[in-house]
Structure 1
């Protein structure tokens, strides 16, 4: 539980602070996801509706800043908001999203910390993927392909190497720009990660495909799908509509009011009438708490919407670890 302090000092934590406190630990992140889902199920956590503010057109035609609030009871006892800007126009060396997570004590409202969110978002997204990957039955060590070479793809690659790297075959890495894929792969031994230049090769050989691109148009097509495939879509628009409906099961992290507004392709398909709410086979609650599993040989599409409540949970743990372990970087406000 976070320590509430009488004069409400606040932690300011950048990427290095987060890493020092174990913010990239995939096992701890998976625990945070599992505990948060249990708290949501028990009514001890919640995510109120988001609000957004449009940015100037110089940041892009649909650029906005979103306020994504959430609260957690249990051992977290925190309320927070993820404040994230999504822009289409930016310097080439900057990410499309710029995020900050603010955390307060749930019991007193006192300020506890401000945490740079980009790495936490990538880690919690990879943690959700890892939980889903471990839930799918295979009669052999699954072959894994990662599509993309950005921040989310890099964190998924680190997760896959750590959890599945000794499965016997190298993890495949594909990206539209091969140089970016080679640069990312260069951080790992060749026997663990290999770049594949052809998308068809990756889709044909892989049992698990992690789509982590920033593609603005679908490129995963129906003929790419095969029995016992798991496709996790962490990006916005990688899978074509008839690709999604070709799977035996459609799953996602959570269904909520955001289904009416989200630009994620699964929710757009819902609004356009291609799928119904009843077409969803399972969410994270069913996978984690009810032990939902597909039958051997069935294909599964999982849409990772990305729940801001996980950011709050991870940020709370990081702040707590810093309080208990390190000399904190306090700032009085």
Structure 2
């Protein structure tokens, strides 16, 4: 009988040490393009399952994905919680499991928070690469959490902005973020101050109500909206959603999970993968919104990359 190797465990520090944006971005572009072709031999990605955890004001999401041609099978387990202000408990916990599609055994269990933070930021950066105006100079980040930091990292690695601004509801968090960013980031007293005149605006908040208003957003700006992943949560107002050309990672995901899309009644013009595949245009000169919800296929290729890098590191003398 086949004695499968026990799964390897690749935890936070190790994931961080092997995962690089320069390797991750091309794999994600490839995955987004494959997803948008809707070929079941390329990507099988059921809609994510959510299990409510009523007692703990949270839910567990399951995100399984199978990439038949690439031989990648994975599932991400992610638990979200609505935490009270001042709570020290984590709002998100994630774990990615990589399986052998042929034998069904688990190859690796890995920390999903680093993967989630990095793949999400990398996909937003891909949206900016495709949709922001040429010569964009000012980046604004609304939010100061883990995602804000990963977005800052990949956006400054891939593009050269002349100015980076950040805002959060909590003044101390803005100050802490500016310090941890190590210079080059300007803290703003209001979301409006951060957003006005910005060429690229990233919203990575835990807000359930709009924090970014269309009247502040300059014509031709690109907005990457990352928070508000529930049908009744929002980060952007109707004015912005209605006036922008809206792109998403997944059309179905946006129509079933994004309050910004559902409640505004905005039309999803295209998926990022459609732009990557050349089947839909990148409307760079118009105001664009990329609504990111996150997809299992993004975790699948990220986990496979981590596993590949980790394995080659382990086998080196």
The equivalences for 1:276-315 within 5 A come to 279-290=267-278, 292-296=281-285, 298-315=286-303
In the alignment, the residues of structure 1 paired with residue 121 and residue 16 of structure 2 have an alpha-carbon distance, to the nearest angstrom, of 16
Q: Say how many residue pairs are matched.
A: 305
- 1:218 paired residue among 192, 210, 216: 210
Q: Kindly indicate whether residue 44 of structure 2 is the aligned counterpart of residue 49 of structure 1.
A: no
Q: Kindly indicate whether residue 7 of structure 2 is the aligned counterpart of residue 7 of structure 1.
A: no
Which ranges of structure 1 fall in alignment gaps of 5 or more residues? 329-333
In the TM superposition, residue 27 of structure 1 has moved relative to its aligned partner by: 2.0
In the alignment, the residues of structure 2 paired with residue 258 and residue 204 of structure 1 have an alpha-carbon distance, to the nearest angstrom, of 26
In the alignment, the residues of structure 1 paired with residue 134 and residue 49 of structure 2 have an alpha-carbon distance, to the nearest angstrom, of 45
In the TM superposition, residue 269 of structure 1 has moved relative to its aligned partner by: 2.2
In the TM superposition, residue 70 of structure 1 has moved relative to its aligned partner by: 0.6
Q: Kindly indicate whether residue 169 of structure 2 is the aligned counterpart of residue 176 of structure 1.
A: yes
In the alignment, the residues of structure 2 paired with residue 316 and residue 173 of structure 1 have an alpha-carbon distance, to the nearest angstrom, of 33
In the alignment, the residues of structure 2 paired with residue 295 and residue 124 of structure 1 have an alpha-carbon distance, to the nearest angstrom, of 23
Q: Kindly indicate whether residue 240 of structure 2 is the aligned counterpart of residue 243 of structure 1.
A: yes
In structure 2, what is the equivalent of residue 316 of structure 1? 304
In the alignment, the residues of structure 2 paired with residue 256 and residue 88 of structure 1 have an alpha-carbon distance, to the nearest angstrom, of 24
In the alignment, the residues of structure 1 paired with residue 68 and residue 246 of structure 2 have an alpha-carbon distance, to the nearest angstrom, of 30
Q: For the structure 1 residues 78 and 133, does the alpha-carbon distance in structure 2 shift closer, same or farther, using more than 3 Å as the test? A: same
Cα deviation, 1:25-49, whole Å, max 9, x if unaligned, reads: 1222212211212433243111023
In the alignment, the residues of structure 1 paired with residue 163 and residue 103 of structure 2 have an alpha-carbon distance, to the nearest angstrom, of 50
In the alignment, the residues of structure 2 paired with residue 239 and residue 287 of structure 1 have an alpha-carbon distance, to the nearest angstrom, of 23
Q: Give runs of ≥4 in structure 1 deviating > 6 Å.
A: none
Two-structure CA RMSD over aligned residues (Å): 2.2
SS at 2:246's partner residue? Answer: strand
Q: Kindly indicate whether residue 9 of structure 2 is the aligned counterpart of residue 20 of structure 1.
A: no
Q: Kindly indicate whether residue 98 of structure 2 is the aligned counterpart of residue 110 of structure 1.
A: no
Q: If the length of structure 2 is used for normalisation, what is the TM-score?
A: 0.89
In structure 2, what is the equivalent of residue 37 of structure 1? 32
Q: Kindly indicate whether residue 118 of structure 2 is the aligned counterpart of residue 123 of structure 1.
A: yes
In the TM superposition, residue 107 of structure 1 has moved relative to its aligned partner by: 2.3
Cα deviation, 1:58-112, whole Å, max 9, x if unaligned, reads: x11xx2112111111344x121111111111477233311111111012222211
In the TM superposition, residue 286 of structure 1 has moved relative to its aligned partner by: 1.5
In the TM superposition, residue 327 of structure 1 has moved relative to its aligned partner by: 6.2
SS at 1:112's partner residue? Answer: strand
Which ranges of structure 2 fall in alignment gaps of 5 or more residues? 229-233
Q: If the length of structure 1 is used for normalisation, what is the TM-score?
A: 0.85
In structure 1, what is the equivalent of residue 63 of structure 2? 68
In the alignment, the residues of structure 1 paired with residue 312 and residue 227 of structure 2 have an alpha-carbon distance, to the nearest angstrom, of 35
SS at 1:238's partner residue? Answer: coil
Q: Kindly indicate whether residue 193 of structure 2 is the aligned counterpart of residue 198 of structure 1.
A: no
SS at 2:5's partner residue? Answer: coil
